[in-house]
Amino acid sequence: MVADKESCIELFKSIGLTEQKAQETLRNSELSTQLEQIINEAKQHLNKNENIPKTVGKLLYSVATKSKQQIQHLIPHLIKYICEDKIKNDVQLTAALDYLLTHPTEKIDTNAFEEASGIGIVVKPGEIDSVIEELITQNKEQLLEQRYEFPTGPLLAEARKRLKWADGKELKSELEVQLLDLLGSNDRSASSAVTTANTTKNKKSKKVNVSNATEHKNENVNASVLSKPKGDENSDNGLAGEALNFHKPGENYKTEGYVLTDKTMDLLKEHLKKTGGQVVTRFPPEPNGILHIGHAKAINFNFGYAKHNDGICYLRYDDTNPEKEEEKFFTGIVDIVQWLGYKPYKITHASDHFDQLYEWGKELIRRNLAYVCHQKHEELKGHNVPISPWRDRPVEESLQLFEDMRHGKFAEGEATLRMKCVMEDGKQDPVAYRIKYAHHAKTGDKWCIYPTYDYTHCLNDSIENITHSLCTKEFQARRSSYYWLCNALDVYCPVQWEYGRLNLLYTITSKRKILKLIQKEVVKDWDDPRLYTLTALRRRGFPPEAINSFCSKIGVTMSQTALHPDMLDSFVRDTLHTTAPRLMVVLEPLKVTITNYPYDKETELTVPDFPHEETRGSHKIVFDSIIYIEKTDFSEEARKDFKRLTLTQSCGLRYADLAITVQEVVKDANGEPIELKVSCQKIDNKSKPKGFIHWVSHPSTCEIRLYDRLFIHPNPDDPKEVPNGFLSDINVNSLTINSHALIDSGFKDGKPFDKYQFERIGFFSIDPDTTSEKFVFNRTVALKEDKKAN
């Protein structure tokens, strides 16, 4: 090891790193230690008195950044090949690393390693020229048409596919040269440093500098740009970041941090036999509450990733906490999963395997990897838990005590089974089993001991041959115990991948806190439309397609996200705009009598359900001499920005082809308008009014529920924002009920959850509280604000 920071920087610079890059590397203690060891190892194979060549130095740096923990013992072999100039470029290095990751526990087969890494293969310049020329010829027509707007990424990708061992820089350089030869300079502001004339002359030198030849804005092109075998097109299906780096089934060992044992490879082979190489995921909710918006992301990710890879996804109930589980939660969960459009491959329960889990608990004791402990629950809280005085009790004693726990010989809290491992957050010996004298929804009273999440989760994943155990970041601290437990029992070990959970501002999703809101009668139940449970969003009228689109748009990242609910609302509007038929509804009615009604009797008008697509259907409404408009659509005082009805300004009626003009205002004792008497005129191009309003005639009464944010502050859980707790942050105006709204005569029937756009008001959904006497509507979202008109 070098003695000080300055020596370290000089060491890193000796392999070609810049001062800045060396400084950045030094700040990463793990990387700098690794790189230092690699450089010192390389010096054993090179002339110690000479600087390491930059080409070698670059590859050594790549080894430090790309190699994984599982193959650290094989790194010296890799360094030897680099120093002997057998591994010459990143392409060969990547292939060599991949080979070693695929054979992490085997003795290196030199011939197989060299063949897999392209050792000894030389790609001649003429081969590169020919392949690039062929690709340009295939796409010549599009290139001449699009010129430098043509996306060249796929061209390079195809070239790399055909010449696997060619140096990427040489491929890119040749492509730039031939593009310049075909298209000429892309620099319109000044003379190009390299002209078309000398391009041909210097073509073979590979030293032409073309700065703009591959500049383009969009790498995502239609598959037709390159001729590809059918079914060979790649799509990331909205996946991003780490999700694109997920391992292939059976290649768990290639994942950073995955723990290998001498039985790993055999277990993976057996796993592949059972799955056939298929991706297998699971969505594992606890049946002790209703799913919320964060679960929508998890559902989309687990089911979506499996679907994208032609795999399967289980719905598994994590039913290990019998006191809080209810049948309505079991049925509610599967109902929501199906509502979002997903069908589980199979519905399972953690309790399906309670017998096997119990046997594995005894096996852990036999292997001296678990023990029965009598520390109290309060003593086990936190991370600085004192070491149990029973940790080293004899195996036979723990086995007997575990049997006694199973047969009800201890009271709750008197004994637990603990595992001898340390979690990533430093917590030692997590509990595997605890005593609970509670009736279980599925197993009844068979058990009085129940496994914990830390014990159950990974083993159920193993039983179901899960390939990708996808969970949110808070479970990252459990990853080490996840791997430890599977390996301790010599069973197949899946890979746990963590991603950032989805949080929305102005709401809470904690089941415990939602239950408090219900108990305090702040909200009515789990499906109160002011909540962001998925049942609440469904009741409010959110379409599942909008929720799925929202989840797809935000993608899957490793960082936690807290988004404004307006973002979700915009997806809801976009969906409902094309799916919700229009109706006219008046929230605050003002009676209008047309004194010169132009017809002998009431008349029927045909109104399109979707005015922007009239072929999609219509409905009939009644028009008569008495109509009702919104109170806010009339103003006695004329204002410059007010384009609706005033004493001096006419206004058009939607779909009636008439404009009305006020003749008289009838007021109540308080001076408030209660009726307008108006005349009407046919609208023509010369007398077209500035504004049009909606109206109803012969209407029915309905109830309208308008919802606002439940909480005043963006983060009601944050003590800095809300020192007195979330219950003190309730918005008392979060629900407004209007029982005297009027709906147009064209609305005859509807069922709960049917969705409509009330013209000029917003999007609404029929609430399940609807009766045969009165329809009840929930406002889903308001219309977007129209900044061009009042």
Which of the residues are catalytic?
286, 501, 511
CA dihedral 534, 537, 541, 543 (to 10 degrees): -50
Q: Which two tokens stand for residue 642?
A: 């007010």
Cα 439 to Cα 90: distance, rounded to the nearest angstrom: 60
75 and 46 Cβ atoms separated by less than 8 Å: no
**DSSP 8-state assignment for residue 418:** E
Beta pairing class for 775-782 and 700-707: parallel
Phi-psi region of 541 (alpha: psi -120 to 50; beta: other; left: phi over 0): left
Of 144, 165, 140, 205, nearest in space to 155 by CA: 140
Which residues 6+ apart lie within 8 Å of 394 measured at CB?
none
Q: Please spell the DSSP secondary structure of 314-359, one letter per residue.
A: EEEE----GGG--HHHHHHHHHHHHHTT---SEEEEGGGGHHHHHH
Residue with tokens 């890979």: 495
Cβ 383 vs Cβ 427: under 8 Å: yes
| SS3 category, 72 | helix
Give residue 117's identity as a one-letter amino acid code: S
Euclidean distance between CA atoms 465 and 282, whole angstroms: 10
Q: Which helix (H) or strand (E) holds 679?
A: strand 673-682
Residue 529 tokens, joined: 């439309």
Supply angle C-alpha 157, 163, 168, rounded to 5.
Answer: 60
Block residue for tokens 């102005």? 506
DSSP one-letter code for 260: P
Tokens read off for 99 = 């080979």
Sequence-distant (6+) residues with CB within 8 A of 461 are 282, 469, 494
